[in-house]
């Protein structure tokens, strides 16, 4: 094992961006604001899926994820997002 530099992590697809140390706090706050403004139900489902996946096999994880996705798709946030998308396309 070896430490992997941030730029290499980005190149390998292990990270989406590399941020200089001096900019890290500001960028972290920016990302947190973006996430907080996003679809809450989907973020909660994502966290639950990741937590479940850490302790279960792949078939169980996929079944659990499917149930979570179905639940989110039935929710008000999803319906509002689909309606907004369709309105923009018209």
pLDDT of residue 7: 96
Domain boundaries, the chain: 6-36, 40-89
Q: Is 13 exposed, middle or buried (0-12, 13-18, 19+ CB in 10 A)?
A: exposed
What lies within 8 Å, CB to CB, of 57 at 6+ separation is: none
The structure tokens listed for 61 are 């994880």
Reported as a single tens digit per residue, the pLDDT across 2-24 is: 999 999 999 999 999 999 999 99
Reported as a single tens digit per residue, the pLDDT across 21-71 is: 999 999 999 999 999 898 899 999 999 999 999 999 999 999 999 999 999
pLDDT of residue 65: 98
pLDDT of residue 38: 86
Confidence grade of residue 90 (pLDDT, cut at 50, 70, 90): confident
What lies within 8 Å, CB to CB, of 47 at 6+ separation is: none
DSSP conformation letters of 10-21? HHHTS-S----G
pLDDT of residue 66: 97
């Amino acid at each position: 094992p070896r430490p992997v530099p941030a730029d290499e992590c980005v190149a390998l697809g292990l990270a989406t961006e590399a941020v200089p140390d001096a900019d890290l706090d500001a960028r972290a706050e920016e990302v947190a604001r973006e996430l907080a403004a996003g679809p809450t139900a989907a973020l909660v489902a994502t966290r639950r899926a990741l937590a479940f996946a850490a302790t279960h096999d792949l078939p169980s994880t996929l079944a659990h994820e499917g149930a979570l996705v179905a639940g989110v798709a039935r929710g008000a946030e999803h319906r509002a997002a689909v309606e907004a998308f369709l309105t923009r396309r018209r």
